[in-house]
Amino acid sequence: MRWAVVVFPGSNCDRDAEQAIRLVTGDPVDLVWHDADDLSGYDAIVLPGGFSYGDYLRAGAIARFSPVVRAVAREAERGKPVIGICNGFQILTESGLLPGALLPNRHLQFRCEMAELRVETNDSPFTRLYTPGEVIRIPIAHGEGRYHAEPEVLEELRRERRVAFRYVENPNGSVDDIAGILNPKRNVLGLMPHPERAVIDWMGSEDGIRMFQSIHAHVEEGLSHA
Ligand SMILES: NC(=O)CC[C@H](N)C(=O)O
């Protein structure tokens, strides 16, 4: 399988994601500039963290107009796994691929620290190698990570078990302690914590490894049945 890590002007976790995926899966990974309008050659797509367009207006609000976002939507529609990490999550909500919005942290501080997350479902291509209820450690680094959604949307997320991760201790004021959510088809995940920063012992946690392994296993299974 082949991965695309999309690079926007201002992305700064693209190389970390690329290296983490290579290390964990051994798969080929391409860094793809945001003016690409065709991602059909890729099996999994990563929107990495950073400050696309300097977070001007609102994080992700300008990046959503990049040509690549239409290509991401097309591949997501075809069922390919798309993971938006931090700024990638912000771009996914701004572009309507995931519901809700990411607002400035309640305390207005940028938080860069280890976070404990509860895995809420393993029914997704991103979480199949975790155990529901398991607590994992994945770092956060954001200023605009407070997840917000209208009550009807929250109700739907809960009913459809589309909250993938919750914070054990809420670091930013996110509604319902939400750290990551899935789309209705469960092939698009947005999460504020950074799994690519938790793949080697010296990083303080290796709990991100299984996220990339999960995606790899999901895609390879699909390819072997194709
Ligand atoms: N590491 C990230 O992607 C965080 C940056 C993000 N734009 C923010 O909310 O501050």
Residue 85 host element (H or E): strand 82-85
Whole-number Cα distances in Å, 127 to 175, 187, 200: 21, 11, 19
Q: Please tell me the total number of residues recorded for the chain in this structure.
A: 226
Q: How many domains does the chain have?
A: 1
CATH (domain of 144)? 3.40.50.880
Contact indicator for 52, 9 with CB cutoff of 8 Å:
yes
Q: What is the mean pLDDT of residues 181-186?
A: 98
Q: Is the CB of 51 under 6 A from ligand 1?
A: yes
Instruction: Please confirm, yes or no, whether 13 is among the known catalytic residues.
Output: no
* Whether the predicted pLDDT of 225 surpasses 90: no
pLDDT tens profile 90-140: 999 999 999 999 999 999 999 999 999 999 999 999 999 999 999 999 999
**Type of residue numbered 78:** R
* pLDDT for the residue numbered 64: 95
Catalytic residue among 34, 86, 142, 216: 86
**DSSP 3-state assignment of 152?**
helix
Q: Is the CB of 50 under 6 A from ligand 1?
A: yes
Q: Is the CB of 14 under 6 A from ligand 1?
A: no
Instruction: Please confirm, yes or no, whether 194 is among the known catalytic residues.
Output: yes
Shortest-distance Cα residue to atom 4 of ligand 1: 142
Catalytic residue among 18, 34, 120, 194: 194
pLDDT tens profile 69-96: 999 999 999 999 999 999 999 999 999 9
Confidence of residue 226 (pLDDT cuts 50, 70, 90): confident
pLDDT tens profile 37-67: 999 999 999 999 999 999 999 999 999 999 9
**Type of residue numbered 68:** V
Q: What is the mean pLDDT of residues 15-33?
A: 98
* Whether the predicted pLDDT of 1 surpasses 90: yes
Rounded percentage of the chain residues whose pLDDT exceeds 90: 98
* Whether the predicted pLDDT of 33 surpasses 80: yes
pTM summary value: 0.97
Closest of 168, 182, 210 to residue 84, by C-alpha: 182
Provide the domain limits for residue 72.
3-225
